[in-house]
Amino acid sequence: MSGDIDARLARLADIEAIIRLKHEYWNHNDSGFRADEIAALFTADGIWSNAEFGHYEGREAIRAFFKNAPAIVPFCAHVGMNPIIDLDRDQATGRWRALLLSTLNEPSGSVAKLILIDYLDEFRRIDGVWRIRKLDILFNFVVPFGDSWVGLEKSRPFGNLRASS
């Protein structure tokens, strides 16, 4: 009986670690695209893929993409939900949905957009730590947002959730 409970607790701990990993990824995006921190969340052979923004393989390619991301997306805020996580020892898959409030720089200028995203993710545990193996990002729709927040994103620094001393 105790072995069964231990296995169930370990499974729940793994799911919680994957959820936290995903939220760290979103937080690093929403806090000014911290490229080094984002790249560190991926396996060495990790993949970030999206039809609109490209396909990047390996930490260095992912880091380079996110270093340039603020020129395209100067502001974003993910509202993530609906995680479905399946575990198989040291590998896992995850499906998520997110609403992304964003400012996109377009030829006509900065535009506020609302994006509905589906994520199809793969995770791998390496040396006891869960990492992102693959992020497949599908934009279901990208629509202009009615009243714009463009210009307000600079009125307050990006959310830094680190506690003050």
- Residue 149: predicted pLDDT: 61
The answer to whether position 159 is within a domain reads: no
Please give the pLDDT value at position 153. 61
Domain that holds residue 102: 2-154
Each residue's pLDDT tens digit, 68-125: 999 999 999 999 999 999 999 999 999 999 999 999 999 999 999 999 999 999 999 9
> Rounded to the nearest 5 degrees, what angle is found at the Cα of 21, between the Cα atoms of 19 and 24?
110
What pairs with residue 112 in β-bridges?
103
pLDDT of residue 141: 87
Give yes or no for a contact between 47 and 54, defined as CB atoms under 8 angstroms apart. Answer: no
| Whether pLDDT at 165 is above 50 | no
Residue 39 included in any domain: yes
**Tally of domains in the chain:** 1
Beta strands per DSSP E along 6-108? 42-50, 54-57, 75-88, 91-106
End-to-end CA distance of the chain, in Å? 45
Asked whether residue 163 is domain-assigned, the answer is: no
Per-residue pLDDT of 124-134, as tens digits, reads: 999 999 999 99
pLDDT score of 158 more than 70? no
**CA–centroid distance for 108 within its chain:** 27
Token pair recorded at residue 70: 């603020």
Cβ proximity of 37 and 62 under 8 Å: no
d(CA 123, CA 131): 6
Q: Is residue 164, in this structure, part of any structural domain at all?
A: no
User: Any idea what the CATH number is for the domain that residue 117 is in?
Assistant: 3.10.450.50
pLDDT in tens, 18-70: 999 999 999 999 999 999 999 999 999 999 999 999 999 999 999 999 999 99
